[in-house]
Structure formats: structure tokens, C-alpha cells
Structure 1
């Protein structure tokens, strides 16, 4: 298709940071997912981490003058290996879709049936993939990005205190990761996913010092994760309280605690919520987080899959 933009693919995250680092640094909150994932992948590859079997690539988008205007990526380990699509002009998003489909076909990768990110760009990207493969489009979890520049701690605070998770907590952390997304779906009023989304590498995250637990009388009652800084921005998540411990203010206290630590360290702090989850949106607004932008996840269900579901 005709476009004033161009697309260049990368398999090396370090090369992406070299080429697109200025753009990521200029929009560190909006592009925090791309920045943090790319930084972590670069560190892992540099340490000798073997390349995973699932798709892992980045696409740098340039305008007619060669200036980098966007970075897309396909790095998620779980099917359908969702593509992250940044805010792009309509023609650039459509060009990205065609280039990604060409690459996917050549590499024998799973089809591009899921995209997440900026609403207009994701819709344009998905229209092109749907046009190529047919099927119907369904909207998945709607995300909202928030940032806090000041924190209002809960008063009174709940009992207990925050601590970093250790490898002694590995089974607990891994188990909570497994149920987190399905329980979040129910809380947002959606049926839980048929296959729970698993967050891989719990032991690595613990050893990185990115998993926090809220303890009450020696019992862990809540978990919050916090990604390491990428271009001066930390991103909080996941945030999980088991059902039997909810309603006591642990999530609010924990997020306020580690967000304040990040701000005092000189970092900016952000997080994502499910727009359909009234509990989390209310909690984070009360702490001091303010909405930055909304994002969308669109999924293409091929005709054959739709028919088999009906049968």
C-alpha cells in the first residue's frame, strides 16, 4: 500500500534502543510498556538468555524524512502473541499491519489476531488484518493508563506493612499470578478467560526486587509488582488481593507505599487499570493517580473459529 512512512523490523532489542531511544525517552509514560519490555529483553539477551520460541520482534516506524515516530512490538509469550501498536497516523498503522503480516507469513508465525494500544491506530491496524484473514472483530480488555505526581496515603492505614518478596514466597507468588487475570475479569463484570494468562518468571521477578507483599502478623495478604525504571518511569502492576482479604485497604496502602518510594527516588510512576473495573479505578484515583489515556485491545476471530464455537 502507498504511505509516506516506512517500517524497519528488529530482532535485537538493544538495536531498538539505539535507534528509537530518543522517542522512548521523550514519551516515557505513554511508551512505558515498550520501553520496559525492550530494556528487560536487552538485559536478558546480553546475559546470554536464549531466544524464546515465541515471536519476538520490534518494528520502528519512520516518517518521510526518516524521523522515528513510533515503535511497535510483538513479544508476548502467551498466544495470541498480541502486537503492541503505538499512536500512529492512519496510513502508518495500516502499513505496519501489512508489513507485520508479510513478516509473520515468511517466518511461519501465528497469525496477527490481536492488537493492543492507541485506539485509532489499533482500529486501523486491525481493519487491515481482518481484511486479509476475514472473521469478526471483538473488543478485549479496555485499558486506562494513569500517572501520579503526588500520593495521598490512606488514613487510617490498614494493619500490616510492605516487604519485598523472597524466594521463600515463590509458590505463593506464582499461584497468585496464575489466578490474577481471571479474577480481574470477574471483578470487571466479564466471564473469566478460558485459559488463565500466566505471568512467567516469578522467580526472576522476585530476584529483581520487583515483587512486594503486604504482611499482616506474618501472613502475606496482598501482592503488588513494580517494574524497574525505564527512561525514568516505573510501572506498577500486577496488583492482587485474594478474595478473603479484600475490602481492608491493602491494595490502596501498598500502591501508595511503593509509588511514594518511586517518586522520592526521582522517578515518575504510572500504572494501568481495566476501565471496566470500578474498584481499581476508584482506589487509584483516591491515592492520587490521574488518567493519561485510554487504550483498546481488538481481537480478530477467523470465520472457521467462529463457526466451530457456534457448533
Structure 2
């Protein structure tokens, strides 16, 4: 096996895109992250680490990428490609802080990484990927609309609040740039309103490879307990279906019983469990905190 590191997102995607798109469910995060890298308009998405792994015939058999400070996305690395990928990451990104992906893939890479580096690994976040089977919208007061540029400040505020609440350490990326990039890409923020008052948010993307993922689902504390997040999620999901998505996905935090209860009511069913594993040079207590947002 031979691993190659790439510096041009367009050339990398031309090479690795078919590999990721062959399984857009497993590689959902890699696909949406690469879309932002290809757009090249957001800080943090302009200089990703991108690598491919090739067998002895030269055929591409694995691919991975990382946009620091986010974890390395390893869903596109079969087990046999991990040793070569570890070698490449050690050379080009020795300060790697975490990996994320389907549980078996993340555990395989983490084991190889810690054996090579002597670092400590610690599971920081367990999630579950859900796929929409048949949408069942809830009966909730209010209606959805797509947020526009007049909503910029609200959307930025709520995306920042989403990250702050889930991390406990604050957001780490420029959410204003993220919202503006979404406007340019046509990726909609669905705002649920009741009597003209915005009460909840859900974001999704224009389908890529037939796949769309719902994320940034957020309701301010004072508006919770009324089903608004479910309604906003259903609106975003319906939009994705109308746009031609054949796979509508979302992640939940396995530690949050509420989301793992409400999304199945909308018609979402589990696909696989994923995990983020952090690395530390010292004890497990020194491992980096997990990060949320696009990688959910």
C-alpha cells in the first residue's frame, strides 16, 4: 500500500470523489466537508489535509481528509489501508488530535496511531447516524421558511449557540462565513416560526451524490418542549426529498435520549454508530475536547 498526500482540492476530489460517492451514507461528512473545501470561501476549509491510499497496482483503495482543528475523517479508509495512512499522517500532520468515523474504522485507526506514537486515546463522543425512510411530519403550531440574508445575524447567533451548548467550550469556526457560504451554495437554513417569531432552526445541504444531511438543529431554551425542532427538521428533510435526495441523514448524540427518541418518530432509522477518538501525549485527562457542527 502507498499513501499519497494532495494539496489541490479539485485534483483530490477528481481522484477521490468517486470513492467517497460510491457510499454517500458512510462518507456523508467527507462529502459535505469537501464541498466547502472546493468552494474555498471559508476560513479553515482552504488548506485541508487530503490523502489517498493505493494498492500495488496503483488503484485507489482508500481516502481521508482533515480540516484542522477538526478530527481526521476516516470513513473512507478500509482496515488494510490504515498502516499506510498512519505513515502519511505522521509525516504531514504529526499533531493530529482526533479521528472520527464509523466506530470500527475509528477504533482501528486509533489503535494503529497509538501503537506508532505512544499517545493515549480517549473516546470523546459517540454518535449514531440515522437515515430517513418515510417522513412523518409532526403536528406542531407554526410554519417553516427558508432564512435569507435578512436573517444573517439570527442564523449566526443560533449556529454559535448550537456549538457552545454542545461543546461547553464555545464555537471554533467562523459561523458567519459558514452562513454566507451556505447562501452562495443554496444550502438552506429552515427557520420555524410561530406567530411571526422565529423559534427553531434546522440546516441541510443541496443533495450531493443523492445525499443530504440535516444538522445545526437548534431551539433556544425558552422555546423548547413544543416540538419546534422536530418540525424544523421535518421541513428540512422534506425540502431535501423534493430536491432529489435519495438519502436524507442526520447524526444524534448517543448521550442525548431526547434526540434519539424524537427522530425515529419522524421516520429516521439507525444506520451505524460512529465515534470521535481524541489523542493526547499525556494521560487521558489531557485529551482534547470534541468539536461539533459540520462534522455532525
State the TM-score bracket (shorter-chain normalisation): 0.7 to 0.9
TM-score scaled to structure 1, two decimals?
0.82
Deviation string for 1:81-100 (max 9, x for gaps)?
Answer: 31111253434213211211
Which of 135, 141, 146 aligns to 1:159? It is: 141
Partner of 1:205: 182
How many angstroms apart in 2 are the aligned matches of 1:284 and 1:151? Answer: 10
* 2:126 is the alignment partner of 1:142: yes
Measured against aligned partners, the alpha-carbon deviations of 1:145-191 in whole angstroms (never above 9, x if no partner) come to 1111320111xx2111111112222222112112213423xxxxxxx
* 1:15 matches 2:11: yes
Separation in 1, partners of 2:13, 2:97 = 27
Closer/same/farther in 2, CA of residues 141 and 129 from structure 1, 3 Å limit: same
Report if the CA contact (8 A) 2:137-2:231 is conserved.
yes
> Matches of 2:286 and 2:249 in 1, distance apart?
41
Residue 98 (structure 1) aligned with residue 75 (structure 2): no
- CA drift of 1:17 comes to 2.3
Q: Distance in 2 between matches of 1:222 and 1:32?
A: 24
RMSD: 2.6
The unaligned stretches of length 5 or more in structure 2 are 289-296
Distance 1:21-1:89 versus aligned 2 partners, 3 A rule: closer
Q: Which residue of 1 aligns with 2:51?
A: 59
Residue aligning to 1:232: 210
Unaligned stretches of 5+ in structure 1?
106-110, 185-191
Given candidates 67, 70, 73, the residue that maps to 1:84 is 73
User: Tell me, what secondary structure is at the counterpart of 2:181?
Assistant: helix
The answer (yes or no) to whether the contact 2:79–2:108 under 8 Å persists in 1 is yes
Structure 1 residue 258 corresponds to structure 2 residue 222:
no
TM-score by length of 2: 0.86
* 1:294 aligned residue (258, 273, 282): 273
- CA–CA distance in structure 2, aligned partners of residues 122 and 94 of structure 1: 13
Q: Partners in 2 of 1:235 and 1:254 — Cα distance?
A: 13
